[in-house]
């Protein structure tokens, strides 16, 4: 198995929580270790072994003015997104205990990196609001000036795991989202939307509350844009109605293809050729 593209650099820096090792040498947290082709990288207590294969650098250096670390960061994010649809579609019939000790049917299997939300929601430094049912955190990679996530304490893998009995919880999530908008200092000048990604990349159902300026350096590619401006983004009220009517949330076949649509302004529907061109165009819609 070849290593994912972000490891084309000849060193690896351990940033996460899970133990990592190269061959039999453990890499300490925040340590950077040189690697050679053919060595084995073991991730998460040696559960995921990878054999390193470096590919030729076709950029003529380190990608222009970008540092190796910046390139690695961008490549990691792109690789994570490329895996997200595949990870979300994989299913398995397992039961996992929720926060109350009850067993809930888990209908989806996510890659190990996708468990990050479960860690963030427990971190007091990440929390901006919480009650006995939900917690609100700031998105680590906000795609707009204001971008929050509303998560239930109860373990629910994704939209597909929601059922009629979750109606009250989902309505409460929507109410909390509205409260977040109301307390926002720019609530009168910016529009907001609340909704869910039809095919999430992260485990644990989460409601996005996002301002429609999309003024953020973290919005970098077509997948980012289309995940919030097409039907890939399912409105919170529509999800509530599905649960009340059908007792479940239905994701249309072919929804993942929406991420490949051309870049179009979500306000005037003008088509733009690139993300930089789109961002420049969006400035014309910002409040003056």
In contact, 6 and 77? CB cutoff 8 Å: no
Distances (CA, A) of 255 to 164, 167, 173, 233, 238: 23, 24, 24, 10, 16
Which residue, among 139, 116, 117, 136, has the nearest Cα to 127 in the 3D structure?
Answer: 136
Which residue, among 196, 157, 155, has the nearest Cα to 177 in the 3D structure?
Answer: 196
- Check 42, 166, 174, 206 and give the catalytic one: 206
Catalytic residue flag (residue 62)? no
CB atoms within 10 A of CB 158: 24
82: CB partners within 8 A, 6+ apart = none
Q: What SS3 class is residue 33? A: strand
108: CB partners within 8 A, 6+ apart = 88, 90, 91, 92, 157, 158, 160, 161, 203
Active site residues: 206
């Amino acid at each position: 198995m070849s290593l994912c593209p972000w490891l084309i650099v000849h060193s690896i820096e351990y940033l996460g929580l899970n133990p990592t090792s190269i061959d039999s040498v453990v890499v300490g947290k925040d340590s950077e270790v040189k690697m050679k082709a053919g060595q084995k990288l073991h991730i998460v207590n040696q559960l995921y072994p990878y054999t390193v294969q470096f590919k030729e650098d076709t950029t003529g250096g380190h990608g222009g003015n970008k540092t190796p670390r910046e390139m690695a960061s961008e490549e990691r994010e792109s690789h994570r997104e490329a895996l997200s649809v595949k990870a979300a579609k994989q299913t398995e019939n397992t039961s996992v205990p929720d926060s109350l000790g009850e067993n809930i049917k888990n209908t989806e299997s996510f890659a190990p990196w996708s468990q990050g939300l479960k860690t963030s929601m427990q971190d007091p430094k990440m929390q901006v609001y919480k009650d006995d049912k939900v917690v609100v955190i700031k998105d680590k990679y906000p795609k707009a000036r204001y971008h929050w996530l509303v998560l239930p304490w109860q373990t629910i893998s994704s939209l597909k795991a929601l059922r009629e009995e979750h109606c009250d919880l989902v309505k409460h999530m929507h109410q909390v989202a509205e409260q977040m908008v109301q307390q926002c200092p720019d609530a009168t000048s910016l529009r907001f939307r609340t909704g869910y990604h039809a095919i999430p990349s992260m485990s644990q159902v989460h409601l996005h509350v996002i301002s429609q300026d999309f003024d953020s350096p973290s919005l970098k590619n077509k997948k980012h844009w289309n995940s919030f401006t097409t039907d890939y983004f399912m409105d919170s009220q529509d999800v509530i109605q599905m649960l009340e009517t059908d007792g479940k949330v239905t994701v249309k076949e072919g929804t993942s293809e929406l991420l490949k649509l051309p870049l179009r302004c979500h306000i005037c529907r003008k088509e733009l050729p690139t993300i930089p061109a789109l961002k420049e165009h969006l400035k014309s819609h910002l409040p003056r």
